[in-house]
Amino acid sequence: MSDMMTFQAIVIACGTTAFVASLWFLRRFLELKHERALRNPSERLTDRLDRIETVVDATAIEVERIAEANRFIAKLLADRVEPTRPLARPERVITPH
């Protein structure tokens, strides 16, 4: 093989290696860019999550108020009603047949 062919083979091998490495670098760069975009929530999403959090907190407070009112009413009803006495056994009645 002549010196020129050897040089061409080396240049082609090095060029191919550099090309493949640059494609790998570009692919990895795009993957990292996509991952960063997924990690950072958008401003719109952050606002929506804040509103959801506010609604959940308000709902929890209202549920607690309802539970407290239910306990209060149950206590009032329990205090108002007299305990029931067992009914006296009725006398036996003999009916003609």
More confident residue, 76 or 96: 76
Looking at residue 83, its pLDDT comes to 61
pLDDT tens readout for residues 16-71: 999 999 999 999 999 999 988 888 778 888 899 999 999 999 999 999 999 999 99
Tell me which residue has tokens 């003609």.
96
pLDDT tens readout for residues 1-20: 688 999 999 999 999 999 99
Query: Of 12, 34, 15, nearest to 23 (Cα)?
Result: 15
Looking at residue 97, its pLDDT comes to 65
Residues in the chain: 97
Looking at residue 96, its pLDDT comes to 74
